[in-house]
Amino acid sequence: MSKELIRLKDVSMTFDGETILDNMNIYFNDKEFLTLLGPSGCGKTTTLRIIGGFLTPTSGDVIFDGVRINDIPPHKRQVNTVFQRYALFPHLNVYDNVAFGLRIPKPYEDVSSVALSEASGGKKRKKKLSETEIKSRVTEMLEIVSLKGFEHRSVSSLSGGQQQRVAIARALVNQPKVLLLDEPLGALDMRLRKDMQQELKRIQKQMGITFIYVTHDQEEALSMSDTVVVMNAGKIQQIGTPEDIYNEPKNAFVADFIGESNIVDGIMREDNVVEIFGRKFRCLDKGFAPDEPVDVVIRPEDVDIVDVKDGALTGTVTSVTFKGMHYDIIVDFKGFKWLIETTDFCPEGSRIGIKIDPDGFHVMKKSEYSGMFGDYSSYSAEYDEIGDVEYEESSLEDEADEV
């Protein structure tokens, strides 16, 4: 069903001798909601600007519908952008802000962009639309962004969320194939952000076009996207569905950036057997070399608290935070602090045992990020006495009973 629309092939970008994008390879499918996710400064905006045509990559190709478009200027690409600072025209009302894009049409059909007009099925748009046609398009767009009836309002009288809707309508009214959105909800408060996330998703589906969305907010990325691209330091770390990215992070950077993760050193003893803290546990992972050192991710919600005598590991609770639905507790295992989510109240200072099911482990290859993330020591200021993990070697059969 999905057809490739845009591809970045071996794209690198250098500013003043500094590599900002390092050999990016990525494709974007037609009608897909794809999010570039990563910390500030990782190169998300630079990537969008390359797709939009505002920057030419230092090396590599930008392909649109099979055609190289490196040298096609922005106004000749079937791509529009919505920025965080959505510069609306303050002296124009809502209607005229949206109509603006139609009155000065993007000349997609310009002869110098044969490739693009072919890409759009050879369809040529009239150079100038009639006011009747403009009215019908603007009205339809305002309906899509839920601003029907706001036509004559001055944009400065609108809330931030409403202004952002106007910006989206303006960017969509001339029917681009792709909408680029650079942290478009960044200026809105939390509640409004959540509403707008749902709205954007709906608009994208309804219009049936490709959205390439940029955010540093992992929750936003997971809840909106068909595909998430995790970036760090100008490099793609992982591409996948939100579920893939959360459940099967590729390295410690992704595991740490997406959700909460305890990440510990481990050894893959054999298929389906991982060792952490000197003890063997059953897991679902396989395909590693025997005794390969690995990074092991254990999500806070995958740890069960049990009596000390029943625990595969035992530790000391060093902090407790009430979160409404559950408690976040920090537990010290031999100086390594884990975050555990639990509905059982465990007071600070108490000793607890833990149990982890095989599907609670996620084993990753060692990477340049090994050892950098996944310890929750900074969660609590005081560093407690080292809890004595039960270190005695035990056979897997024992483990299978216990764990």
Residues that bind ligand ADP (CB under 6 A): 15, 20, 38, 40-46
Which of the listed partners (Mg ion, ligand ADP, none) does 15 bind, with a CB threshold of 5 to 8 Å by partner kind?
ligand ADP
**Which tokens go with 391?**
């270190």
Which of the listed partners (ligand ADP, Mg ion, none) does 266 bind, with a CB threshold of 5 to 8 Å by partner kind?
none
**35 near Mg ion (CB under 5 A):** no
Stretch that binds Mg ion, among 16-24, 40-48, 286-294, 356-364 (CB under 5 A): 40-48
> Dihedral of CA 224/230/234/236: which sign?
negative
Stretch that binds Mg ion, among 43-51, 100-108, 126-134, 136-144 (CB under 5 A): 43-51
DSSP codes, 28-87: EETT-EEEEE--TTSSHHHHHHHHHTSS--SEEEEEETTEE-TTS-GGGSSEEEEESS--
With respect to ligand ADP, which residue has the nearer C-beta, 41 or 371?
Answer: 41
| Pairing outcome for strands 33-37 and 227-232 | parallel
- Residue 293: which residues within 8 A CB-CB, separation 6 or more? 265, 266, 267, 268, 366
Contact residue for Mg ion among 6, 24, 43, 45 (CB under 5 A): 45
With respect to ligand ADP, which residue has the nearer C-beta, 49 or 250?
Answer: 49
Min dist. Cβ of residue 41 to Mg ion (A): 8
Report yes or no: 42 and 30 within 8 Å, Cβ to Cβ. no
With respect to ligand ADP, which residue has the nearer C-beta, 45 or 370?
Answer: 45
Min dist. Cβ of residue 11 to ligand ADP (A): 13
Min dist. Cβ of residue 170 to ligand ADP (A): 22
Which of the listed partners (Mg ion, ligand ADP, none) does 101 bind, with a CB threshold of 5 to 8 Å by partner kind?
none
The residue written with tokens 């609770």 in the block is: 317
**Which tokens go with 252?**
């410690």
**Which tokens go with 340?**
């555990």
With respect to Mg ion, which residue has the nearer C-beta, 49 or 170?
Answer: 49
